[in-house]
Amino acid sequence: MAGIRICDDIEECRFLWEHFWPAECIFDLWPVRYCFAEPYGRRPCFIIAEQNGILQGILALSWIEEDQYYGQFPGETCNGKTWLEQNRIPAKNPHVTGELLSAVPGPVHVRYLSDISFPEYSDNGWFDIDETGYLFLPGDYNYSLENYFQQFSGKTRKKLRHELSRLEKPGVEYRHDSLRDVEDLYRLNLHSFGEQSYFSSSRFLRSFENLVSWLNAKGMLRVTTALIGGKTAAVDIGAVLGLSYVVLAGGTHPDFPGVAKLINFHHMEWACQQHFESVDFLCGDFGWKERFHLTPRPLYEIKISEEQVAWQEGFFEESIACVQ
């Protein structure tokens, strides 16, 4: 059994994260997380498992005061939901995972967990599918957007080409990496989603501004602006890490219905040209991702209510025994 302790010192939390957390996607990077940590000001609660002075696992949480539960660090909520994806519970084995979860001093709701965190637990009814993320994998189509279009029926291809041709008729051009267009993204997103937009939260907006600034300083930022007839029709913000590209947020002008398809195909074509391994369009189908043959990737959640806290240790001991 590993020794368990709780750390709430942000500098020690940073050190532990950077020395133990796998850096496989942009959401794994401490500076990305810290872009949200500062505006939200949540109290960190890192559950640490150690054995003979060697780190065995981390459960990185923050106390979400207004909802009275522990969520994934840094606890960047808006409209009752967190936003950062590909969360994980890095641990040496499932025994350590169970010990970490047993040690949380209150209710837990961790969302958007990758399945690598708990493959042995995924069928026991406690780790549920939360939402589905969607990927475009250029290699599956030999890095050719035309090959990708062959996945659609002839009727659908004809309809898509007609819709795109209509949008392109006034003249389409793309502008890249113009920071002044970021403000247009916020404005368009707020116009489309109103209070449901993450940018309606002043804390989230400040966090995202931090993120844009950091990505730009590191040469990882990708701002894509679609102009139709010289007018800004859509703006997307993405980030590149290695051979992975993630589309983080976007906004579209209501005068150009269907422009989201146009700009998304532009992302996919660029990814093919760059020979990227993946384009992550994140969670939320919005009526197009599944229909457009993107590869689904389920993400999971774990919820431990206040009533369950009292007996969760016995539950996890039983769960561990079941997978031995």
- Compute the distance between CA of residue 85 and CA of residue 133 in angstroms, rounded to an integer: 9
Domain 3-132+298-323 matches domain 138-276 at the CATH topology level: yes
Collapsed DSSP state (helix, strand, coil) of residue 25: coil
Task: Report the relative pairing of strands 108-113 and 127-136 from DSSP bridges.
Answer: unpaired
pLDDT above 60: residue 125: no
> What residues contact 55, with CB distance under 8 A and at least 6 apart?
16, 19, 20, 48, 49
Interval 182-235: pLDDT, tens: 999 999 999 999 999 999 999 999 999 999 999 999 999 999 999 999 999 999
pLDDT above 90: residue 110: yes
pLDDT above 90: residue 308: no
> Model-level pTM greater than 0.75?
yes
Name which of 52-56, 286-290, 298-302 the model is least confident about. 286-290
**Region 129-134: what's the mean pLDDT?**
92
- Compute the distance between CA of residue 313 and CA of residue 100 in angstroms, rounded to an integer: 10
For 262, counting Cβ atoms within 10 Å of its Cβ (0-12 exposed, 13-18 middle, 19+ buried), the class is buried
Interval 76-98: pLDDT, tens: 999 889 999 999 999 998 889 88
More confident residue, 78 or 121: 78
pLDDT tier for residue 128 given thresholds of 50, 70 and 90:
confident
Place of tokens 């590869």: 295
Structure tokens at 72: 């994934």
Interval 225-276: pLDDT, tens: 999 999 999 999 999 999 999 999 999 999 999 999 999 999 999 999 999 9
Interval 8-62: pLDDT, tens: 999 999 999 999 999 999 999 999 999 999 999 999 999 999 999 899 999 999 9
Q: Where are the domains of the chain?
A: 3-132+298-323, 138-276
How would DSSP label each residue in 91-112?
BSSHHHHHHHHHT-SS-EEEEE
Interval 133-178: pLDDT, tens: 999 999 999 999 999 999 999 999 999 999 999 999 999 999 999 9
pLDDT above 70: residue 318: no
Beta bridge partners of 61: 45, 72
pLDDT tier for residue 284 given thresholds of 50, 70 and 90:
confident
200 closest CA partner among 85, 78, 67: 78
Q: Looking at residue 94, what is its pLDDT? A: 85
- Compute the distance between CA of residue 63 and CA of residue 252 in angstroms, rounded to an integer: 34
Collapsed DSSP state (helix, strand, coil) of residue 231: strand
Cis link prior to 44 (omega < 30° from 0)?
A: no
- H-helix or E-strand spanning residue 224: strand 221-228
pLDDT above 90: residue 299: yes
Helix axes 10-20, 30-40, angle to 10 degrees: 160
- Compute the distance between CA of residue 25 and CA of residue 295 in angstroms, rounded to an integer: 17
Burial 224-251 (b: 16+ CB within 10 A, else e): bbbbbeeebbbbbbbbbbeebbbbbbbb
The CATH architecture annotation of domain 3-132+298-323 reads 3-Layer(aba) Sandwich (3.40)
The CATH architecture annotation of domain 138-276 reads 3-Layer(aba) Sandwich (3.40)
